[in-house]
Amino acid sequence: MTDMRPKAASTAPGDGFFQASLLLLVATGYLAVLATGRLDRGTAVAAGAALVARALVIPGWLRIPLSDPAVRALTIAYIGFYPLDFLYLSKDFLDATVRLVFFLAIMKVLTARTTRDYSYLGVIAFLELLSAAMLSSSVAFFGFLALFLLFAVAARTSYEIQRSGDRAPHRAPAAPLNRRLAALSVALAAGIAALSVGLFFVVPRAAGAYLARMPATGESILGFSEEVALGTIGRVKQLSTPVLRIKILDGPKGVRLRWRGVALERFDGQKWSNPPRTGQVLVSPYGTYVVAGARQRLRPGPRIRYQALREPMDTEAIFLAEIPEVVASVFPRLEWSLTDSIFLPGSRWKPLRYEGTSFLNPARREELGNLAEGYPEPVRAAYLQLPELDPRIPELARYVTETQLTPYWRAAALEHYLRTEFGYTLELPAERSADPLADFLFRRRKGHCEYFASAMAVMLRTLGIPARMVNGFHGGVYNPMTGYQTIRASDAHSWVEAYFPQSGWVTFDPTPPEPAEGTVLGRAWILLDALETYWNDWILQYDVGRQIRLARGLQGRWQRAGDATALWWDAGWQWIEKKTTRLRQNPAQISWFAVVAAGAALLAWAAAKTAPYAALWWRARRVERGAGSAHDCALLYQRAAQRLKRRGVARPGWQTPQEFAAAVAVLGTDSARRRPPSSKQAAMFEEITALYNRARFGGHGEAARQLAGLIRAWEALPW
């Protein structure tokens, strides 16, 4: 295969444009993978350096002394290293494969010289973008995809122009270059748009079909975990990454709700966790799950219905408001754990979309305050477990609640004590304590939510009241553009649920109110958050159910449009029949109607006939003022040639204007021809052609002005 560059590669502008477009194409794929966070530092630095080096090679500022045998040897060596990377170093097929793709990209970027090399670079750029698609579900990928398509079109069009020039370097192009580029760009854009629209409506994106997106660090970075170690939430509360978006469909709005993820029952003095998950599997052929059961007695109260968009997270938990009642989505099954948490198996690191209904304030404080003790044995066994504690902790619990007579009021007293006597802070202790709970209660006396929730749950257990910690989110920021409440990693929260025999689990939140953030989220944040929301809702979450609903909606709109058209049609016919009846009843009006109709038809015919002449006059005025374009000159010349065509002298498509003028001059001397152009007409047309060539292809303004006057004189000749 031959080299696709022109012979004078260093001076041909098309070659530089093509190489720059192809380099930007590879750089876009590189940046798309880099944005996922899965590219290790060494590979990222090496690939970036290779791209910069190639950018210096294009204008001739740098030469890379790498021979083909050296490149082959390095490639063979890395291919032999690839299994070792997969089995022993990264131990991950995707990571090892991404590094292999980038090594090949580095080699080709540094040494590409032939058509085959450039083709390989295009394939490598596509593989980079494909890797980014598998590693990311962010809307940022859409931006990289748009750039990739732009540079792909630029590289392809410049390549085609370059190849045509190599094949026929001395032949003029069959059509103007700008016209060919415009046609090719429009065709490519139309094809991409048609394919994208077809795939969007035909191929639904089911949430269960996504490839898992694991974090590069192997730990949760989005503010939620199914285990809570004291001190961890303080780190994630400093992140503003969106994790959940909520739209209230029915019920009270503007309420700062708690979004329950998992309840944790075991505490070892350092962290909260759960035993291996057990519970009940829920299956519903209609995708509606009732998750409120006998395990928790729910009293009548207000309900709230909402729609949730969950970002990819390191959990299978479904986040539901307060005390959940119903979950609705296309999920094939759900799991209901013994801690009353709801899980979707296989949903780890995948985006989810679902609707829920929850109870708000299901119990009244005056009723709970009169409840007596008497807990079921399974509840006592699971939720009264305690590690070895500092003896001051149970003493403090008894001191705070010594005046309270019922379990509920003891819990309320502990909640009030922690909220009023301790401070809130996100600062972590300078040194890790062997007993972080005692350190919080008796030395620091300030902390963040998991310290407060842990302290209350542990002190409740020392009093014989079953309690557990709940991990989830609280609060959020409302986006008026989308109508969604955006919940970020900084909204991570922990609270307490205490068990009362006649009412079930009741929520307590001992954490003091957080101080105001002091930052204003402006219009830029609103726009970016809206873009992320629509991307999640309409691209990532476009499943079969939404496809059916969208098709039904379009069918309904089409039917309503057809009905409206039929009504307009009937109304038009009724109007015509009414006017016709009046004309039949009054024949004198018919003549007036005929005169008006004939006058309108005559005016339309006159406008159609004079429009070309008016356009010609306008273009001639533009040319005479010096404001005309080459296209205006071409139209004036074509108008002059039309005169000859009506005399039977038409210009063939293969003939240049100069050749046609010479042929007309010959015909002007042919007396045997019927109605030949006169010698004066032929000579004037030859002068018109000379002025046209100077104005159209030479850019002479004075020739253009003379052309307009000469054509007027040409048309004034007797024909």
Element holding 635 (H helix, E strand): helix 630-646
Main-chain phi, psi angles of 209, to 5 degrees: -95, -5
- The answer to whether residues 102 and 90 touch, using CB atoms and an 8 Å cutoff, is no
Lowest mean pLDDT across 137-141, 396-400, 683-687:
137-141
User: What is the pLDDT at residue 578?
Assistant: 79
pTM over 0.85: no
Task: Judge whether residue 189 has pLDDT over 90.
Answer: no
DSSP for 492-526? Answer: EEEEEEEEETTTEEEEE--SPPPPP------HHHH
Q: Compute the average pLDDT of residues 241-247.
A: 87
- The answer to whether residues 270 and 276 touch, using CB atoms and an 8 Å cutoff, is no
Q: Which of 23, 27, 80 is nearest to 55 (CA)?
A: 23
- DSSP E strands in 149-241: the ranges are 228-229
How far is the C-alpha of 686 from the C-alpha of 701, rounded, in Å?
A: 19
- The answer to whether residues 397 and 414 touch, using CB atoms and an 8 Å cutoff, is yes
User: What is the pLDDT at residue 640?
Assistant: 77
Angle, helix 115-135 to helix 93-111, in steps of 10 degrees: 150
Hey, is 158 helix, strand or coil? helix
Confidence of residue 140 (pLDDT cuts 50, 70, 90): confident
Q: Compute the average pLDDT of residues 418-441.
A: 84
User: What is the pLDDT at residue 372?
Assistant: 56
Confidence of residue 282 (pLDDT cuts 50, 70, 90): confident
- The DSSP bridge partners found for residue 225 are none
Q: Compute the average pLDDT of residues 364-386.
A: 74
547-565 pLDDT, tens digit per residue, is 666 666 667 777 788 778 8
How far are the Cα atoms of 145, 246, 284, 472 from residue 305, in angstroms, in the given order? 36, 10, 19, 18
State which amino acid sits at residue 501. Answer: P
User: What is the pLDDT at residue 516?
Assistant: 55
* DSSP 8-state symbol, 406: S
Give the pairing of strands 423-424 and 492-500: unpaired
State which amino acid sits at residue 489. Answer: A
How far is the C-alpha of 458 from the C-alpha of 494, rounded, in Å?
A: 14
Confidence of residue 12 (pLDDT cuts 50, 70, 90): very low
Q: Compute the average pLDDT of residues 118-130.
A: 85
- The answer to whether residues 181 and 14 touch, using CB atoms and an 8 Å cutoff, is no
301-332 pLDDT, tens digit per residue, is 678 999 998 888 888 899 999 888 889 888 88
Hey, is 184 helix, strand or coil? helix
User: What is the pLDDT at residue 719?
Assistant: 63
How far is the C-alpha of 467 from the C-alpha of 507, rounded, in Å?
A: 10
- DSSP E strands in 311-447: the ranges are 320-321, 323-328, 333-337, 342-343, 352-359, 423-424, 446-447
User: What is the pLDDT at residue 9?
Assistant: 36
Lowest mean pLDDT across 337-341, 379-383, 628-632:
628-632
Winning range, highest mean pLDDT, from 273-282, 375-384, 554-563, 673-682: 375-384
Angle, helix 701-716 to helix 588-624, in steps of 10 degrees: 140
Q: Which of 9, 107, 25, 104 is nearest to 58 (CA)?
A: 9
Residues in the chain: 719
Structure tokens at 272: 């909260």
Structure tokens at 366: 């005056």
How far are the Cα atoms of 194, 268, 346, 608 from residue 200, in angstroms, in the given order? 10, 50, 24, 45
Question: Which of left, alpha, beta for 272 (phi over 0: left; psi -120 to 50: alpha)?
Answer: beta
